[in-house]
Chain A
Amino acid sequence: MSVVVFALVHFSGDPVLLMVSPDAPPDVVATMRQALGFDRPLYEQFARYLGNAAHGDLGMSLRMNRPVISLILERLPATLQLTLAALVIAVLVAIPAGIVSAVKRGTVVDRLAMAGAVAGQAVPIFWLALLLIALFGVRLRWLPVYGSGSLAHYVLPAVSLSTIIMGRLARLVRSCMLEVLGQDYVRTARAKGLGESRVLAVHALRNASIPIVTLLGLQFAQLLGGAVVTETIFAWPGIGRLVVEAIFNRDFPVVQGVVLVVSLIFVAVNVLVDLFYAVLDPRIRTEPA
């Protein structure tokens, strides 16, 4: 992963030329290159980058003259809050929709919910975001359309972002529930007189939850990626907007740092998902290694 992000910076040209003014004399450029270590062989620069990254040093921003790690840490909470809000909205809408679709299979409710899910998978989030701004921000003036601060600021960006996974999640919940609802233990639960909601929540959903949690873990990366677009549209002060600004400013250490941090978050989330399997299915805990 470090190789990929390191290569990004070094394919983009001489970083020193981006830091000095275009008319800087060659000796100034050479001195700066030497001072920053860009004159060293690439493998040596990479080894130094890896060593520094392991200590939390992701280099300096070429434009803002500040450590990349502090820029990222300053903006990361806003992105995580937005991503988690989107995840919560997606889960709150998609899981009940998927369950109802499975239980009412073949009915109008099922068809409507799945048509919505299929359509949701085709909507470009930036378009949806602009439509939401036009309707709820500009026309009705119900919600703020840019910046962050209050709970109301979360609504439009989080709703747009949530559509990235909502349709997919609803379809997966439906197909997993259909599979589980035909199992003997569900029939037994019903036969012993349990209420339908308890059968669905405790016996069916729990047994259908492993692929659902896996999907949520895998889709977390797409949510973080989607945040790049959403944050740009809603002027949300997170790392998505930071990386877009950095790209336009050709501030590649920041781009490199954000890609690395986002990838690490994705890996960490998926490790957590793996650990969570044991909570959902006790058989995984007792299986021999």
Chain B
Amino acid sequence: MRRSGPTFWLAAVFLGAILAVAILAGWVAPYTASEQDIARRLQPPGLGPHLLGTDEVGRDVLSRLIYGARISLLVGVVAVALSCPLGVLVGVVAGYSGRRTDDVLMRVTEIQLAIPTILLAIAVVAVLGPGIRNVILTLSVTGWTLYARLTRGETLGVKQRDFVQAARATGAGDLRIMARHVLPNVLSPVIVVAVFAVANMIILEATLSFLGLGVEPDIVTWGRMLNGGRLYLSTAWWITALPGLAIFLTVLAVNLLGDYLRDWLDPRLRNTLRGDQI
């Protein structure tokens, strides 16, 4: 493993802090996400009751950033937690079964890969309707192909190995071989890709919220905050700049942790850059 440098620790501490703040939002946020201080609307960041300023209706930007972190992290992690097992299942079955099953499953995967992720996501969420559950479902639907392709490739290699042949010779069934022998040996690259995918999902959720297709209107998200500040770009830059900065730093921290995890778990992936290219 690459020696953990200051970048790793910075990223880890930042993510830890964001996670803690998101979980403890009710205690650490100075105000609620919807509390309005009309007398102090459009206040710039600075010392005073609103450290990071207020938005167009006097809501505290810092508090909204804290509550927004909950949704960004929740959606990112849950979408990956749903899409990853689905993709791994498809990939292992395709790679292990071979022939017609492999052909069918990989054609389905390729078809979905031909549709740009964001276009597919907005089309699906438009059909399902906005809402946190639908956004998570949409992101899961768009994300599984990555794992399917990766796991299938890994399975093709693993199934030729001696221990799989030995298991087959001892009479183990296909299901048992896939679950007990193939799956544990293809998981390292999957974990690495899943970490990078959390970052992608955070951006995708923010994009959907920005386009007005995200979670329910009464739930604060970084993407929605950013969209809300668009009209005040010239007079109140902080409403747009700060949520964007939060997304940028969180995604950057997740990607940096992913880089270290990749070097540790699966150095072969080093030259393939981030997981989304595998």
Do B277 and A215 touch (CB < 8 A)? yes
In the complex, A279 has a CB within 8 A of chain B: no
Nearest to B233 among chain A residues (CB) is A134
- Chain A interface secondary structure, helix, strand, loop or mixed? helix
With most chain B CB atoms within 10 A of its CB, the pick from A127, A139, A179, A244 is A127
Do A122 and B255 touch (CB < 8 A)? yes
In the complex, A119 has a CB within 8 A of chain B: yes
Do B120 and A124 touch (CB < 8 A)? no
Within 8 A of A (CB), among B233-277: 233-234, 237, 240-241, 243-244, 247-249, 251-252, 255-256, 259, 270-271, 273-274, 277
Q: How far is the CB of B24 from chain A (nearest CB, A)?
A: 25
Q: Which of B115, B237, B247 contacts A124 (CB under 8 A)? A: B247
In the complex, B213 has a CB within 8 A of chain A: yes
Do A259 and B115 touch (CB < 8 A)? yes
A233-254 CB mask vs B (1 if < 8 Å, else 0) is: 0000000000110011010100
Do A259 and B123 touch (CB < 8 A)? yes
In the complex, A228 has a CB within 8 A of chain B: yes
In the complex, B166 has a CB within 8 A of chain A: no
With most chain B CB atoms within 10 A of its CB, the pick from A126, A255, A258 is A126
Do B274 and A263 touch (CB < 8 A)? no
Q: How far is the CB of B147 from chain A (nearest CB, A)?
A: 17
When distances are taken between beta carbons in the complex, the residues of chain A under 8 Å from B199 are 122
The answer for the CA separation of A247 and B123 in the assembled complex, in Å, is: 7
How many A residues touch B, CB cutoff 8 Å? 47
Do A1 and B126 touch (CB < 8 A)? no
Q: Which of B234, B255, B273 contacts A175 (CB under 8 A)? A: B273
Do B122 and A122 touch (CB < 8 A)? no
In the complex, A138 has a CB within 8 A of chain B: yes
When distances are taken between beta carbons in the complex, the residues of chain A under 8 Å from B243 are 127
Question: 8 nearest interchain CB pairs?
Answer: A225-B116, A127-B244, A122-B252, A225-B118, A122-B251, A247-B126, A263-B114, A221-B116
Do A228 and B114 touch (CB < 8 A)? no
The answer for the CA separation of A45 and B199 in the assembled complex, in Å, is: 40
In the complex, A172 has a CB within 8 A of chain B: yes
Do A221 and B273 touch (CB < 8 A)? no
In the complex, B39 has a CB within 8 A of chain A: no
**Given A124-B203, A124-B247, A134-B237 in contact, is the A255-B118 Cβ separation under 8 Å?**
no
The answer for the CA separation of A184 and B106 in the assembled complex, in Å, is: 38
When distances are taken between beta carbons in the complex, the residues of chain B under 8 Å from A243 are 119, 122-123
Do B248 and A244 touch (CB < 8 A)? no
A116-143 CB mask vs B (1 if < 8 Å, else 0) is: 0011011110110011011000110000
In the complex, B127 has a CB within 8 A of chain A: yes
Do A12 and B115 touch (CB < 8 A)? no
Q: How far is the CB of B142 from chain A (nearest CB, A)?
A: 10
Q: How far is the CB of B62 from chain A (nearest CB, A)?
A: 18
- 15 additional contacts (CB under 8 A) given A127-B247, A134-B233: A12-B126, A122-B251, A122-B255, A124-B251, A126-B210, A130-B230, A130-B240, A225-B118, A228-B122, A229-B211, A247-B126, A247-B213, A255-B123, A263-B115, A266-B115
**Given A123-B248, A133-B233, A222-B116 in contact, is the A8-B273 Cβ separation under 8 Å?**
no
When distances are taken between beta carbons in the complex, the residues of chain A under 8 Å from B271 are 175, 179
Q: How far is the CB of B106 from chain A (nearest CB, A)?
A: 14
Do B119 and A126 touch (CB < 8 A)? no
In the complex, B226 has a CB within 8 A of chain A: yes
Q: How far is the CB of B160 from chain A (nearest CB, A)?
A: 24
**Given A122-B251, A221-B116 in contact, is the A244-B111 Cβ separation under 8 Å?**
no
A-B contact pairs, 24 of them (CB 8 A): A11-B127, A119-B248, A119-B252, A121-B255, A122-B249, A126-B210, A127-B226, A127-B243, A130-B230, A130-B244, A131-B240, A133-B233, A172-B273, A175-B271, A179-B271, A221-B116, A224-B116, A225-B116, A225-B117, A229-B210, A247-B126, A259-B119, A259-B123, A267-B114
When distances are taken between beta carbons in the complex, the residues of chain A under 8 Å from B212 are 248
In the complex, B150 has a CB within 8 A of chain A: no
The answer for the CA separation of A263 and B119 in the assembled complex, in Å, is: 10
Q: How far is the CB of B39 from chain A (nearest CB, A)?
A: 26
Do B127 and A12 touch (CB < 8 A)? yes
In the complex, B32 has a CB within 8 A of chain A: no
Do A122 and B248 touch (CB < 8 A)? yes
Do B122 and A127 touch (CB < 8 A)? no
The answer for the CA separation of A263 and B117 in the assembled complex, in Å, is: 11
With most chain B CB atoms within 10 A of its CB, the pick from A4, A262, A266 is A4
The answer for the CA separation of A127 and B117 in the assembled complex, in Å, is: 18
In the complex, B206 has a CB within 8 A of chain A: yes
In the complex, B207 has a CB within 8 A of chain A: yes
When distances are taken between beta carbons in the complex, the residues of chain B under 8 Å from A252 are 127
When distances are taken between beta carbons in the complex, the residues of chain A under 8 Å from B230 are 130
In the complex, B188 has a CB within 8 A of chain A: no
